[in-house]
Amino acid sequence: MAIWARQRQIYYLVGVFVFFALIGLVLFLIYRPRPSCFDGVQNQAEAGVDCGGPCAIACAPAVIPLKIYWTRPLLVAPGWYDIATQVENTNLALGVRQAGYTIYLYDNENNLLIKRTGSTFINPGEKFVIFENRLITNGREAKQAFLEFDKDLVWEKAQTVPKIITVERENFVETPRPQLKIRVTNQTLDILSDVKLTAVLSDADNNAFAASATLIDRLGPNESRLVFLTWPSSFTSPPSSFDFYWRLNSFDQASFSL
């Protein structure tokens, strides 16, 4: 009789244990943290920890490095330089929301004259120009410049910006000071905001010697607008070519319509 009572107690305790174990399992399945791109764990078909696969952030091995074609100091007046750098992002589906960079300006003996930091967005598949103006060297002559991007750029999946803006040169006059008239046209039915426009002027050898930039805060549907860019003093020789670069921040745009 005592043996039977003891067995019944054991069965009861096992049943209670199984019951609470099942309750615990159900609660765990209901309330356990779901896999995400911010949990510090490589899961849900990610290519790395919180990158690749369904995550917006790209893993470092999947990113093609940026190409910097040239960086040039552009003499505006003695001791006053602008800087222009041509860059290309060949990643067709990846961009950077905020890319920090540093510009270094040197004299002919490789002495650092000035250093400036800045930041910009980078769209997928984009060739663009970074323009910095009014670097003052206190009368010292600059010979070369370099631009270096920060090493910790965060690359994300992004939308390619279609060719929805046209830029045409209307007129260029050299006196009394250089002035470039440009027509900028929005070819969509959307209102475009914060259109960055940069013009680069080059000599007969295709070397950039002057540049300028402006920001168009609003460009209405199918709107065409004249933009004027000026320089404070005459050029030593007239420009042989004009290149225009317009930019919209892909990360600020929900969609583009044609």
pLDDT at 175: 83
pLDDT tens, 70-85?
A: 999 999 999 999 999 9
Residue 116 lies in a domain: yes
Lowest mean per-residue pLDDT among 41-45, 153-157, 161-165: 41-45
Range(s) of the domain holding residue 196? 161-258
The DSSP string of 194-241 is EEEEEEEEE-TTS-EEEEEEEEEEEE-TT-EEEEEEE-SS--SS--SE
Statement to judge: residues 167 and 221 lie in one domain: yes
Q: Note the pLDDT of residue 229.
A: 97
> In which element (H, E) is residue 118 found?
strand 112-122
Whether residue 58 is predicted with pLDDT greater than 90 in this model: the reply is yes
User: b/e string for 64-77 if b means 16 or more Cβ within 10 A?
Assistant: eebebeebbbbbbe
In a domain? residue 13: no
- 68 lies in the same domain as 121: yes
Q: Report, as an integer, the average pLDDT of 52-81.
A: 94
User: What's the CATH number where 139 sits?
Assistant: 2.60.40.3230
For residue 160, name the pLDDT band (cuts at 50, 70, 90).
very high
- Mean of per-residue pLDDT scores for the chain: 89
Q: What is the pLDDT of residues 209-239, one digit of tens each?
A: 999 999 999 999 999 999 999 999 999 889 9
Split into its structural domains, the chain has a count of: 2
What is the signed CA dihedral for 208, 109, 107, 89, rounded to 10 degrees?
A: 50
- Residues of the chain with pLDDT > 90, as a percent, come to 75
Above 90 in pLDDT, residue 92? yes
φ/ψ (deg, to 5) at 164: -110, 0
CA dihedral sign of residues 75, 79, 82, 83: positive
Residue 19 lies in a domain: no
Among 159, 181, 210, where does a domain finish?
159
- Rounded CA gap, 111 and 258, in Å? 50
